[in-house]
Structure 1
Amino acid sequence: MKAAEGLRRLVVVGGSAAGLAVVEEVRRRGFTGEVMLVDAEPGLPYDRPPLSKQLLAGEWEVERLLLRPQEQWDCLQVTHLPGTAVVRLEPATGTVCLADGKEISYDALVIATGAQAVHPSSLGAGLSGVQVLRNLPDALRLREALGMGGRLVVVGAGFVGAEAAAVARGMGVPVTMVDPLPLPLVNVLGEEVAGLLQARHHAAGVDLRCGKGVTEVLAQDGRAVGVVLDDGAVVEASTVLIAVGAQPVVDWLGGSGVPLGSRERDGVEGVLCDARGRAGDRIWAAGDVAAWLDPVTGRHLRSEHRLAATEQGRAVGAALMGAEPAPATLPYFWSDQYDLKLQSYGFTGRQMAFTVVEGSLQEGRFVGVYGHRDAGGRPRQVDGVLGNGMARALRTWRQAVLDRAPWPASASAAAAPTAEASTL
């Protein structure tokens, strides 16, 4: 397939899953021009979800995280520049400027710089024993600290914080997890499933302090020794993990004219793109850094899930080759915590209606569906599904999400959507 007119050199900034997907897609479609991948991190690009799971637990070593081994990169014929930071974009001249002063010209640019962990200065930024968990060095440093024992305090009960807490308890490390919300992951999963997670963490021995904030990290001789909560309580710690969210890496785009979202004005941060990932003349974005236009709602949305990064990268690669991208599949995420392997398709959230349609939350094997509420507060259709331990039923209800099936009248009536569906 012929590349878009004038495309001879493609530059991808960011060695992410999205960046890799762009590269593989244009090569798969027959692009023979030059492809450059500029990555601020050293080494070959790697997968991030296992950092807070298998790698942290010591079940995987670093080599298993690689998105592609060296021989596969060689087959892609990519000019790979690892450990190279991009500091500025000059769209007028079609160049990106590197930290060492060099400039690289492009015919098409893909921004795939992902997101970086938020670490407020008030929470011990730069203090020994205090860290975030976003990249490989972070995970290895935390794994080493957990192996030395002591007490871990996790600030934030989102995916990263909750998964790290579960791994630490599996290693026998005492854990306190603090979050201002009333339940772990409640905004993402809703109160019912979040209550199940709370019970699992309590059963595993986590000292869960929900509805509390951290006001200060205590230090002695330059190292963290504890945290102070907003109720005045002091919790001792030898390691403090700050897991309060992530923000898109867009600092290098300042002044470039590339449209950047703000939470106050647009409701979302990141590079604002059209529905196919285009952010400007010869400029595209994919992955955690990108906020794509949703043609249904007319709003820009940023998906921070692994599958979305790959799909967006493939879509951009297809567009660069003048092709229509494949239809997007459902948003997907998973989270491993203790004996739970939560998997979700579609949309979930605290403000959505939720009902269990198979199994039970009490037993831990279940499938539940989510639905957006209308003006009257009633869900009309199945917009998302989440389950644990019932893979076959989860696949059935995934199809219900794709089909925008009507909201089940009751959990019992919904246990078998149709005779045909129950055979899937």
Structure 2
Amino acid sequence: MSTEPGFVVAGGGLAAAKIAEALRDNDFAGPITIVGAEELLPYERPPLSKGHLLGKEGLTDFTPLSGDWYREHDVTLRLGTVVERIDRAAKSVALSDGSTVSYAKLALATGARPRTLPIPGAYAERVHTLRTLADSDTLREIFGVVERLVIVGAGWIGLEVAAAARIAGVGVTMLETQPVPLESILGFRMGEVFADLHRDHGVVLRCGTSVAEIVTADDLATGVQLSDGEVIAADAVLVAVGAAPNVELAADAGLAVGNGVLVDASLATDDPDIVAVGDIAAAEHPLLGARIRVEHWANALNQPAVAAQTMLGRPAVYDRLPYFFTDQYDLGMEYTGYVAPGADATVVVRGDVGAREFVAFWLDPQRRVRAGMNVNVWDVTDRIKELITTGEPVDPERLENTNLPL
């Protein structure tokens, strides 16, 4: 094996696998090393709160590249290991096993971690978060033995786990500080769609509430105490209050960070030999005219192709629109585009909200489409993208008229 400095990827998720694949597809013949904290091959995370949690998908179904692929393409996997320090002057990384690896180019794909609650009982037994395969497996196991699950947070992870738990027959109480789920992302009207969906399936949804303490007995969680003193009994608690990007490695190396690792449209950091992708990348988006960081599977899937070109010294720009999806009960949804939380936007609906078959559009004050969400309506994503990328004003009345094609 060559001893020359090669390309190193810090992080062992989907983005790491796709960077290695893109580099080999672009005829890079030098050494590639992936350093990942888990002992598993890089895998995709959406099934952890969807198909895998429901028992419909196994690990091999969402592992994009097999062990044979890494061996056949001479990609070194340093699993169960993390990059602890970057020495930019020496162009090397120090690993948790005490070794050092030199690099010609470095890709940061360190992902995010679940946020925790700064309250008593937050680290007791039976208090869970969801980020890894092991976390998902644990939740599947407790679905078979508990009767009462309390979920703190009604974001995407909380909602998807609630759906899986109800399908498994577990009683669910969900606590949310906002007036409706997802209000900061979708606004009140669309947030109500998800509130009604879960209430229709038996979830006790308590909005406008805050949690003061995880109640414990012998260091086992037995309930959740609200700020008004009310205690909700629980056999298990899931904390789903968002994720924090793992930017510490980049910050300690002196790279520019803010809400993530700051990168340009080519995904390069302020060090020309280092790129960043996935959950940590706060990237300048040429179509949206803003720097954005989104924790979407699509970024981990698609950004690596651009990052690989940048690592190879070739011009490349990441200009895909943000995209994500969710499946809850009989509701399937795709969201395309980006609207910043709190932005001045008008929601125009095309279809039947009550029947949960519609497309919602977010229009800015100039009546330009900035995002679209299709709920149980399919094959419209390309049309939504066109409406966003043209940047032309639209007539809201025509947009909501289902007799007119998009």
Query: What is the TM-score normalised by the length of structure 2?
Result: 0.93
Partner residue in 1 for 2:284: 293
CA contact (8 A) 1:311 1:328 kept: no
Equivalent residue, structure 1, for 2:391: 404
Q: Does 1:335 align with 2:323?
A: no
Is the partner of 2:20 in helix, strand or coil?
A: helix
Q: Is 1:314 matched with 2:308?
A: no
Change (3 A) 1:327 1:120: closer
Q: 1:255, CA displacement in angstroms?
A: 3.1
CA distance in 1, matches of 2:388, 2:288: 17
Answer yes or no: is the 8 Å Cα contact 1:367–1:394 preserved in 2.
Answer: no
The structural deviation recorded for 1:186 is: 1.4
Match of 1:356 among 331, 346, 349: 349
For 1:39, the equivalent position in structure 2 comes to: 36
| Residue of structure 1 in register with 2:268 after alignment | 278
The aligned counterpart of 2:91 is: 94
Cα separation, 2, equivalents of 1:123 and 1:137:
25
| 2-structure distance, mates of 1:54, 1:74 | 29
Question: What CA distance in whole angstroms lies between the structure 2 residues aligned with 1:278 and 1:142?
Answer: 37
Secondary structure of 1:89's match?
strand
Decide whether aligned partners of structure 1 residues 123 and 19 sit closer, same or farther in structure 2, where only a CA change above 3 A counts: farther
1:264 aligned partner: none
Distance 2:384 2:21 in 1: 31
Q: Which moved more, 1:17-26 or 1:105-114?
A: 17-26
Distance 2:189 2:386 in 1: 23
* Native 8 Å contact 1:186 1:350 kept in 2: no
Residues 311/176 of structure 1: CA separation in 2 closer, same or farther (3 Å cut): same
The CA distance in 1 between the partners of 2:266 and 2:137, in whole Å, is: 36
Which whole-Å CA distance do the structure 2 matches of 1:413 and 1:252 have between them? 47
- Report Cα offsets for 1:165-191 as digits up to 9, x if no partner: 111011110000001001111111222
TM superposition shift of 1:416: 5.6
TM-score between both structures, scaled by the size of structure 1: 0.89
SS of the aligned residue for 1:193 comes to helix
Distance, in Å, in 2 between the alignment partners of 1:230 and 1:411 is 47
Does 2:149 align with 1:155?
no
For the 8 Å contact 2:286–2:319, the answer to whether it is kept is no
Amino acid at match of 1:117: P
Number of corresponding residues: 400
**Judging changes above 3 Å, is the alpha-carbon distance between structure 1 residues 123 and 297 closer, same or farther for their aligned structure 2 residues?**
farther
Q: 2:362 aligns with which of 354, 370, 375?
A: 370
Equivalent in the alignment of 1:173 = 170
CA distance in 1, matches of 2:36, 2:400: 52
For residues 267 and 17 of structure 2, the distance between their equivalents in structure 1, rounded to whole angstroms, comes to: 15
Q: Conserved in 1, the CA contact under 8 Å of 2:262 and 2:281?
A: yes
Cα 1:331–1:130 change in 2 (3 A) is same
- In 2, distance between residues paired with 1:289 and 1:144? 31
Whether 1:191 aligns to 2:181 is no
Q: Which of 200, 203, 214 is residue 203 of structure 1 equivalent to?
A: 200
Identity over aligned residues, as a percent? 35
Aligned equivalents of 1:388, 1:299: Cα separation in 2? 27
- Consecutive unaligned residues of structure 1, counting only runs of 5 or more, are 1-6, 262-267, 373-377
2:376 equivalent in structure 1: 389
Unpaired segments of 5 or more residues in structure 2? none
Question: How far apart are residue 340 of structure 1 and its match?
Answer: 0.6
* 3-state SS of paired residue (1:398): helix
Q: What is the aligned counterpart of 1:304 among 276, 284, 295?
A: 295
Is residue 210 of structure 2 the alignment partner of residue 213 of structure 1? yes
Q: Displacement of 1:332 after TM fit?
A: 0.5
CA distance in 2, matches of 1:52, 1:27: 31
CA gap 1:35/1:394 in 2 versus in 1, 3 angstroms: closer
Distance 2:299 2:163 in 1: 25
Moved over 6 A (4+): none
CA contact (8 A) 1:356 1:411 kept: no
